[in-house]
Amino acid sequence: MMANNGAPLLEAREVSKYFGHVIALEGVSMKVHAGEVMCLLGDNGAGKSTFIKTFSGVHQPDRGVLLVDGEEVRFNSPRDAIDRGIATVYQDLAMIPLMGISRNFFIGREPTRGAGPFKRFDVAKADRITREELHKIGIDLRDTAQPVSTLSGGERQSVAIARAVYFGAKILILDEPTSALGVKQAAIVLRYIARTREQGIGVIFISHNVHHAYAIGDRFTVLNHGRSMGTFEKGDISMQELEKMMAGGKELDQLSAELEGSLSAKSEAQANEPDS
């Protein structure tokens, strides 16, 4: 899926976004290549959501440019991004909990049979494809009609990613896919992301969880208050260094120093108290 000219699948150059006087993004650059997991890290309010909405066509940048396969693009809607192979999987997953798994898998893109007034949802085809695609990621279904809510959180995330891959995504933008999951469920999702990377798909993994990101990521871009603090290869930075760079790292260091100072002062005061 690499472009013929060897360009990144998706690239942002000096992207800025403003909402009135609020600076949501200021000169942020990032790129993702085929078969790579690029992690976009930052605490709440760092600008991650605005950045991915710019990539996915929800927002247009006020400054800077976006490129797909080396070609400058301007997305006027999420449909424009989808048409270029960019699929965004949000935390809410856009699934209907009480609807069957195969129905959710094809929601909005249902296969049909027949023609004209006799056209109808092809249940057999949808069930077969859903079962095959989920089997590839290690989910074996007893009944594809069972409500999607009966799946675990990690399985639902994996179904949403599998759906995007099946419909031709060459770039996956994953919005905090493991944030509400325990260790075992997060492992399901992380393993599947690793498989999509092997298929040559470029992945942008958005997270504030450095442990999950470091386990799967190839490169890391850190945002802090709408500005990039740099992009780093996995071999060039430790997980602890990434944690410190994220918003709150300096504040935590300052708080630790203040607490240590307070405890030292308290101990000194107690030592100087006269014996009763």
pLDDT digits (tens, 9 = 90+) for 95-108: 888 899 999 999 88
Beta-carbon contacts of residue 195 (< 8 Å; ≥ 6 apart): 137
Residue pLDDT, tens place only, 179-222 = 878 888 888 889 888 888 888 999 999 998 899 999 999 999 99
Give pLDDT, residue 4.
46
**pLDDT, mean of residues 138-150:** 87
pLDDT class of 172 with cuts at 50, 70, 90: very high
pLDDT class of 118 with cuts at 50, 70, 90: confident
CA angle, 168 then 144 then 107, to 5°:
45
Mean pLDDT score of the chain:
86
Q: Which of 215, 214, 220 is nearest to 233 (CA)?
A: 220
The whole-model pTM stands at 0.82
Give pLDDT, residue 54.
93
Spatial distance between the Cα atoms of 45 and 174, rounded to a whole number of angstroms: 17
Spatial distance between the Cα atoms of 150 and 148, rounded to a whole number of angstroms: 5
Question: Which has the minimum average pLDDT: 85-94, 157-166, 232-241, 251-260?
Answer: 251-260
Second CATH level (architecture) for the domain 10-100+152-245: 3-Layer(aba) Sandwich (3.40)
pLDDT exceeds 60 at position 125? yes
Give pLDDT, residue 1.
40
Q: What is the DSSP letter of 139?
A: -
Residue pLDDT, tens place only, 61-72 = 999 999 999 999
Domain ranges for the chain: 10-100+152-245
**pLDDT, mean of residues 31-50:** 91
Provide, rounded to the nearest whole percent, the portion of the chain with pLDDT above 90.
Answer: 50
Spatial distance between the Cα atoms of 217 and 243, rounded to a whole number of angstroms: 14
